[in-house]
Chains A and B, each alone.
Chain A
Amino acid sequence: MSEMIGSVVSQVLVKGQFAVLLYFLAVNGWYLVLLVSSLLELRHHMLLITDESRHLLLSSTLSPTISILAPAYNEEATIETSLRALLALQYPSLEIIVISDGSKDRTVQVLIEKFALVAVKTIYEQRIKTKPVRSLYRSSTYSSLVVVDKENGGKADALNVGLSFARGELVCAIDADTLIEADGLQRMVRPFLYATDVVATGGTIRVVNGSQVRHGRVAKTAVPTHMLAGMQVVEYLRAFLFGRLGWNRLGGNIIISGAFGLFQREAVVNAGGYLHDTVGEDMELVLRLKRLSYEQGGPGKIGFVPDPVAWTEVPESAAVLGRQRDRWHRGLADVLWRHRRMLFNPRYGVTGLFVFPYYAFVELLAPVVEAIGLIGLLFGLVFGVVDWKFAGLFYLTAYGLGTALTAFTLILEDISFHRYETFRDRVLLFWWALLEDLGYRQLTVYWRLRGLWKYMRGRKDWGAMERKGFRPVTASS
Chain B
Amino acid sequence: MISQSLLNIVMLVEIGLLALAVVLFFTHGIWLYVSEKRLARLSKIARDSLAQLVTRGTVNVEQMSVLENLPPNVQVIAFLEISRNLTGTGKERLRFAAQQVGVIDRARKLCESRRWQRRLRGARILSQLDVPDPLVQKLLADPHPALRAQAAEWAAAQPSPTVISAMLALLADPATQARFAVQNALLRMGTVVAVPLGDFLDIQSGRAAEAGLRVAETMAGPRFAQTALRHSQTDDVGIRVAAAKLLGAIADAQAAERLVALLNDDEARVRAAAAHGLGRMQHWQAASQLANGLRDRTWRVRRESGLALRAIGAAGTLFLRRALKGDDRFAADMAQQVLDLPEAATG
Contacts and interface: CB of A to CB of B under 8 A. Distances in A.
A94 to B, nearest CB: 13
Nearest to B115: A47
B153 A56 contact: yes
Interface stretch (B13-21, B226-234, B250-258): B13-21
Nearest to A140: B342
A152 interface: no
Given A51-B80, A53-B127, A393-B11, A426 B29 contact: yes
Contact of B177 (A53, A62, A195): A195
A31 to B, nearest CB: 12
Given A47-B120, A51-B80, A139-B342, A408 B21 contact: yes
A404 B14 contact: yes
A401 B341 contact: no
A204 to B, nearest CB: 20
A337 interface: no
Given A125-B300, A389-B4, A430-B22, 15 more contacts: A18-B2, A50-B121, A53-B153, A57-B184, A59-B188, A60-B187, A62-B214, A138-B344, A140-B342, A193-B176, A390-B4, A393-B4, A400-B11, A410-B25, A411-B25
Given A50-B121, A62-B214, A397-B7, A407 B22 contact: yes
B15 A400 contact: yes
A194 B178 CA distance: 8
B18 A400 contact: yes
A61 B218 contact: yes
B234 to A, nearest CB: 21
Interface string B335-347: 0110011111101
A414 B24 CA distance: 10
A116 B342 CA distance: 10
B343 to A, nearest CB: 7
A411 B21 CA distance: 7
Interface string A41-82: 000000110111101110111100000000000000000000
11 contacts: A17-B2, A51-B128, A53-B127, A59-B188, A62-B187, A116-B342, A121-B333, A123-B336, A140-B344, A143-B345, A410-B25
Contact of B184 (A52, A62, A394, A411): A62
A273 to B, nearest CB: 16
B124 interface: yes
A143 B25 contact: no
A277 to B, nearest CB: 27
Interface string A8-26: 0000001001100100000
B96 interface: no
B89 to A, nearest CB: 22
B14 A397 contact: yes
Interface in A101-119: 116, 118-119
A430 B19 CA distance: 12
A257 interface: no
B275 interface: no
Contact of B2 (A21, A57, A136, A430): A21
Interface in B1-47: 1-2, 4, 7-8, 10-11, 14-15, 17-18, 21-22, 24-26, 28-29, 32-33
B337 A123 contact: yes
A141 interface: yes
Contacts of A388: none
Contact of B344 (A52, A141, A423): A141
A196 B341 contact: no
A138 B121 contact: no
Given A47-B117, A426-B26, A138 B341 contact: yes
Contacts of B153: 53, 56
Interface string B288-314: 000000000001100000000000000
Contacts of A116: 342
Interface of A: 14, 17-18, 21, 47-48, 50-53, 55-57, 59-62, 116, 118-123, 125, 136, 138-143, 193-196, 389-390, 393-394, 396-397, 400-401, 403-404, 407-408, 410-411, 414-415, 418, 423, 426, 430
Contacts of A17: 1-2
A414 B345 contact: no
A193 B177 contact: yes
B228 to A, nearest CB: 17
Interface of B: 1-2, 4, 7-8, 10-11, 14-15, 17-18, 21-22, 24-26, 28-29, 32-33, 80, 84, 117, 120-121, 124-125, 127-128, 145-146, 153, 175-177, 180, 183-184, 187-188, 214, 218, 299-300, 333-334, 336-337, 340-345, 347
Contacts of B128: 51, 53
A397 B11 contact: yes
Contacts of B2: 17-18, 21, 394
Nearest to B218: A61
A408 B21 CA distance: 6
A143 B128 CA distance: 34
B187 A61 contact: yes
A401 B17 contact: yes
Best-surrounded residue of B28, B125, B345 (most CB of chain A within 10 A): B345
Contact of A121 (B15, B188, B336): B336
Given A17-B2, A18-B2, A62-B183, A51 B124 contact: yes
Nearest to A427: B26
Nearest to A61: B218
Nearest to B342: A140
Contacts of A142: 344
A140 B176 contact: no
A458 B101 CA distance: 71
A414 B21 contact: no
A144 to B, nearest CB: 9
Nearest to B333: A123
Given A48-B146, A403-B18, A121 B25 contact: no
Contacts of A408: 21
Given A51-B80, A121-B340, A138-B342, A404 B18 contact: yes
Contacts of A430: 22, 25
A120 B184 contact: no
The 3 closest A-B pairs by CB, nearest first: A407-B21, A400-B14, A120-B340
A56 B84 CA distance: 11
Nearest to B125: A51
Given A62-B183, A62-B184, A401-B17, A118 B299 contact: no
Nearest to A400: B14
A418 B31 CA distance: 13
B344 A411 contact: no
Contacts of A410: 21, 25
A450 to B, nearest CB: 30
